[in-house]
Amino acid sequence: MDAALIALIVLWWALITYAVLGGADFGAGVWDFFAVGRLADRQRNLINHALGPVWEANHVWLIFLIVGLFSVFPSAFSTLSIALFFPFTLALLGIVLRGAAFIYRYYAVETTGRFARSWGRVFSVSSVLTPFFLGASAAAVASGKLLLPNGMADATYFVSWISPFVLTIGAMAVSLCATIAAVYLTVEARDTEHDRELAESYRLKALIAGAITATLGALGLVLSSVESPILWQGMLVRAWPVVIVTMIIGLATAITLYTRHYNTARVLIIAEVAFMLGAWGLAQYPYIIPINYTIGNSANAPNVITAILIGLACGMVIVIPSLYYLFSVFKLPYPAPEAQRSANE
């Protein structure tokens, strides 16, 4: 296996991690948008506590993806930046406003004042828009129609990303983020807030969002057969077993949620995302941007990729245990060394 393929697999793994961690943070913002009525304040409080310690670290996976693509496949990165100029710019605005708005709301001196409420709105709206544009960008790449027929990138070639398939996948990205977040929030409402009512409300939300995701996913699959023949061919030839497993896991997630086995549901939804994105990766292999950029013709020089892989290995040795420590202190049931449970639990 050559260095470029190993690097691509690492990047794909980072994409999955970003989806299950960063995606959930966007999803929490989606639920913040729908937080109305009697439970609204408790919901916002839960979302604040769930995101506070981890959202910045989760966000770094995106930076990691960008610099990874930039240094392993520089020509493909350059082309994507031109072709997806508009959706990327919109997603970027969303990312920036989401992060800033969250922190402004969190640290507002008056939690119910005008300042906090306005930024809360910005937080929730940008949390809906960002995954939509990121999902749409991914779908535009997968569709195989991103570039002009001569293989050049053009930012104004709008047909490449305004199509039923692309818009469906964009919407599915939003509902998938919402589903992941709802599952996590169910667990956290039960375990850290000890709020059964809140947990029940997120369980219902997870089931609804999950059903919407499944519907949009099925629609996307059907549309891909017409609109993105390369992806469809890849599904039929290589990725079909993974697609079937994805469907089974999706069903199992719904069942565990329904029967209130929340911890299992949390593991299953992570597996669901991993298999879904894995199916996309397998179906699109060996293209980076179908049909003009492949792993072979767009990878950086092998010695440079080897150097990057060594750098990656060194970096991961530091980052992975640190991440485990972060999550064990704030999210996992097993407390880390030197951690103490706070008095109010």
Partner 1 sequence: MSNLLAARAQMGTSLAFHIIFSALGVGIPLLLCIVEGLALRTKNPVWMMLTRRWARAAAILFAIGAVSGTILSFELGLLWPTYTKFAGAVIGLPFMLEGFAFFTEAIFLGLYLYGWDRLSPRAHWLCSFPIWISGLASAWFIVSANAWMNTPTGFVMKHGTIVDINPLQAIFNPSTPYETVHMILACYVATGFAVAATYALAILRGKRGEYYRKGLMVGMLMAVIATPLQIISGDFNARYLADYQPIKFAAMEGVTHTEQGAALKIGGLADPNTGQIHYAIEIPKGLSLLAYLNPDATIKGLEQVPRQDRPNALFVHSSFDGMVASGLFGLLVALLFWGLYWFKKRTIPENRLLLRGIVLAGPLAFLAIELGWMVTELGRQPWVIYGYLRTKDAVTTAPLLNVSFLVFSLVYILLSAALIWLLLQIAHRPLPQVKVVGEGYQVIEPTIADAEEAGI
Would you count residue 103 as binding partner 1 (CB under 8 A)? yes
Q: Across the chain, which distance is largest between two alpha carbons, in Å?
A: 64
- DSSP code of residue 332: -
Tell me whether residue 150 or residue 303 sits nearer to partner 1 (CB atom): 303
Please pick, from the candidates 12, 104, 240, 285, the single residue that binds partner 1 as defined by CB under 8 A. Answer: 104
Would you count residue 121 as binding partner 1 (CB under 8 A)? no
Residue 275 to residue 280: CA distance in whole angstroms: 9
- DSSP code of residue 299: P
Would you count residue 237 as binding partner 1 (CB under 8 A)? no
Would you count residue 312 as binding partner 1 (CB under 8 A)? yes
- Residue 272: which of 250, 299, 244 has the closest Cα? 250
| Binders in 62-81 for partner 1, by CB under 8 A | 62-64, 66-68, 70-72, 74-75, 77-81
Would you count residue 50 as binding partner 1 (CB under 8 A)? no
From the list 32-40, 200-208, 234-242, 329-337, the region that binds partner 1 by CB under 8 A is: 329-337
- Residue 284: which of 222, 337, 328, 242 has the closest Cα? 242
Which own/partner contact pairs does 47-54 have at CB distance under 8 Å and 24+ positions apart? Answer: 47/185, 48/105, 48/106, 49/188, 49/192, 49/193, 50/184, 50/185, 50/188, 51/25, 51/102, 52/106, 53/326, 53/329, 53/330, 54/21, 54/25, 54/326, 54/327, 54/330, 54/331
State the minimum distance, in angstroms, from the CB of residue 90 to partner 1: 10
Question: Hey, what are 14's tokens?
Answer: 């980072």
State the minimum distance, in angstroms, from the CB of residue 78 to partner 1: 4
b/e burial code for range 304-343 (CB count within 10 A of at least 16 → b) = ebeebbeebeeeeeeeeeebeebeeebbeeeeeeeeeeee
Tell me whether residue 237 or residue 336 sits nearer to partner 1 (CB atom): 336
From the list 18-26, 167-175, 230-238, 311-319, the region that binds partner 1 by CB under 8 A is: 311-319
Question: Hey, what are 38's tokens?
Answer: 């009697």
Tell me whether residue 167 or residue 307 sits nearer to partner 1 (CB atom): 307
Give the per-residue contact string, 196-235, with partner 1 (x = CB under 8 A; - = no). ----------------------------------------
Residue 103 near residue 332 (C-beta atoms within 8 A): no
State the minimum distance, in angstroms, from the CB of residue 70 to partner 1: 4
Would you count residue 325 as binding partner 1 (CB under 8 A)? yes
State the minimum distance, in angstroms, from the CB of residue 76 to partner 1: 9
Would you count residue 6 as binding partner 1 (CB under 8 A)? no
Would you count residue 319 as binding partner 1 (CB under 8 A)? yes
Would you count residue 45 as binding partner 1 (CB under 8 A)? no
